[in-house]
Chains A and B, each alone.
Chain A
């Protein structure tokens, strides 16, 4: 009986169960091993500091990977938004203007990616790698070799708090921002004609082109959209830490790729998707936070995450091979 029921589940649902099960096990484990894990304070910290920023960046990465590409320059988009935002605030410009300029800087990075990929036809990997190098140099040149800019004076506190520490009906603003981004990307990727065309481009660009889809135009939108999401993350990041630390955005790159690919395992066709990515982000965030609480060394956390990614992918591959 049990094996029959097991067989009747298709592998997509089985993979989903495996990933959700792993997530539940991890939560249970950390709840037992670290009494402070399930406290309200820690969960708030987990959500606002670990989940929101990574999730917003990973949503951008999900769009890009769904289109069959990769964006190695997400960190640059995060950093450029953060840098322009902080520099304009420091120079005395109004906060709304600084936010818009920061988002504009991220859009520029995205447009550069889009131009390299669709006009010069450079592969996404190499194009965004080039932009990563350029972006890092720009940051060093603009900050005297990589000096952080701290805005600790009291006059800036209201701006930062309004973005990072405010709340609406008890929900922290960053969480609201995340929910809005999630809803937007979900609708765009899974419900619109554009999203369907992006999936087709990701599956087989030749078929998309031969079906009358304007492949370069749609790809350009993907890279600009991803950079915009990274820009939002950059503004949130700067407001949380009240500073701009050059090249700090790169910390999101590998986690965002990891989360997106963990997310693909819950789909029957192994496609990137918003819900899967969210689950991947939550998994990574719980492991990081939990290992910290049980007192693991920071460097061992990376090992923990590596093992986690391997396990999820191995289980998923094992399940898919049954077909």
Chain B
């Protein structure tokens, strides 16, 4: 019997009083794609960091390729053929593809670098696994996100990887790129490589993985075949006690129009877009990259100035030509790039949560700390933001909790319109359900919610209506309950155009 690629047993790791891992196992065989799922804080990233040699475990044994590794270090683990594709693109932007692939293990000819051999080998590897002709002289910064991911994977292949660990590899990719990444991962599996795949997208786990390890509260609670077990069972294992449904229902009636957009136009992005979001309504918005959907919601928050059309909020015409105007008019936004635009990770939960609503807690320009503290404590409680205290840095919070802080910012303002740009990306399932429930509460209180997403399940499962943008115009408005993902995708890619069942 051949040894397991990775055989971790009884791994424990505590940070002070917090037990991040308690007797967790991770066993991955060669020639399989192994999913690793769990809510944030379940210990997924901790066990991967232990495997990578970044963290030293308090207890447990680690065998890689059947060999006992007493004290893993990043170098020793890599020497054993375990490679990590991290979420962040850790590539030198000014390097060429060949340089990036062979960084630190360059092919030499005598004392000299053999540039031509490296270029040939890099191109051959990329062509073999990705069916892609990528000139080895291209600079990394000129590559798309997907191509950079390819370079990272090629880097591991060039070093004869036995195990490939991918942390949320699809987060920044479009559908077509995801499909081709999956083809490559399957090919690697068929070559006998062990692939560990960490993802928050259940559909991807179901499509791709041969086996899944589910983690909860620092330990593994199940190792199952996802096709046999099904999504619901896996999600059920991940969250503590059946939270119930993934997409909680709304039980309130939809009210008067809150956001009314008439003939909005931004040259070069979108043209003559009209839409209405009512009080208590969650309207999904989707479109492919370059469809103009991104620019549309940016206009609604004043990040870009529309060339024509009108926007009304609660019946009053507003000019949204800068974010401060939009905030003043009652619009709040949760941007897609959380770390660049959503929350300042170097500031505390309190400073982030009150940032947009400071005027409410101030007198004559001075911040009234008592009132601010009370308001922030209220938000932390209401949103169940998991933070040691209100003055903890946002840096130390999990992704889901950071996103809750980004939302909390607007709750303090009592915004009327919420413009959400992929609010559940890189948020674990548990926090996702909490965010959905929170949005439902906001809607019940009469807020209008515009929800941009490329997760089709989320659009059909959570929203009331879904609007699809194609080439700068609305190409369909659908009743979310009566539409399926394929129809939305067809509308987004322009192969289908219709409006169905929408009382306007």
Give A residues with C-beta under 8 Å from B: 187, 191-194, 196-197, 199-200, 203-204, 206-214, 269
Contact = CB atoms under 8 A, between A and B. Distances in A.
Mostly, the A contact residues are helix
B1 interface: no
Nearest to B302: A212
B366 A193 contact: yes
Contacts of B409: 211
Contacts of A187: 366
A56 B340 CA distance: 34
A297 to B, nearest CB: 42
B501 interface: no
Interface stretch (B51-59, B355-363, B451-459): B355-363
A212 B344 contact: no
Contacts of B351: 196, 199-200
Contacts, number: 76
B340 A212 contact: no
Contacts of A209: 323, 341
A16 to B, nearest CB: 16
Mostly, the B contact residues are mixed
B344 A210 contact: no
* Among all A-B residue pairs, the 3 with the closest Cβ atoms: A212-B327, A204-B344, A203-B344
B110 interface: no
Interface string B293-312: 00000000101000000000
A259 to B, nearest CB: 22
A132 B347 CA distance: 32
Contacts of B337: 206
Given A191-B366, A193-B362, A207-B340, A212 B347 contact: no
B38 interface: no
Given A196-B358, A211-B355, A212-B323, A269 B346 contact: yes
Interface of B: 301, 303, 322-324, 326-328, 333, 335, 337, 340-348, 351-352, 354-356, 358-359, 362, 365-367, 393, 409
Contacts of B323: 209-213
A43 B335 CA distance: 55
Given A199-B347, A200-B355, 20 more contacts: A191-B366, A196-B358, A199-B351, A200-B351, A203-B344, A204-B340, A204-B345, A204-B346, A206-B341, A207-B344, A207-B355, A208-B344, A210-B341, A210-B342, A211-B323, A212-B323, A212-B327, A213-B323, A214-B324, A269-B393
Contacts of A211: 323, 327, 355-356, 409
Contacts of A194: 365
A209 B333 CA distance: 11
Nearest to B356: A211
Contacts of B333: 210
**Which of A204, A206, A269 is the most central at the interface, judged by chain B CB atoms within 10 Å of its CB?**
A204
Given A203-B344, A207-B342, A213-B324, A191 B393 contact: no
A207 B341 contact: yes
Contacts of B322: 214
Given A191-B367, A193-B362, A200-B344, A208 B393 contact: no
Contact of B358 (A193, A210, A214): A193
A15 B156 CA distance: 42
A41 B8 CA distance: 71
B359 A193 contact: yes
A181 B344 CA distance: 29
A180 B142 CA distance: 54
A123 B93 CA distance: 22
13 contacts: A191-B366, A193-B359, A200-B344, A200-B347, A200-B355, A207-B341, A207-B342, A210-B303, A211-B327, A211-B356, A212-B326, A212-B356, A214-B324
A6 to B, nearest CB: 15
A53 to B, nearest CB: 29
Given A200-B347, A210-B335, A213-B324, A192 B341 contact: no
A99 B24 CA distance: 72
A199 B359 CA distance: 16
B405 to A, nearest CB: 11
A120 to B, nearest CB: 18
Nearest to A213: B324
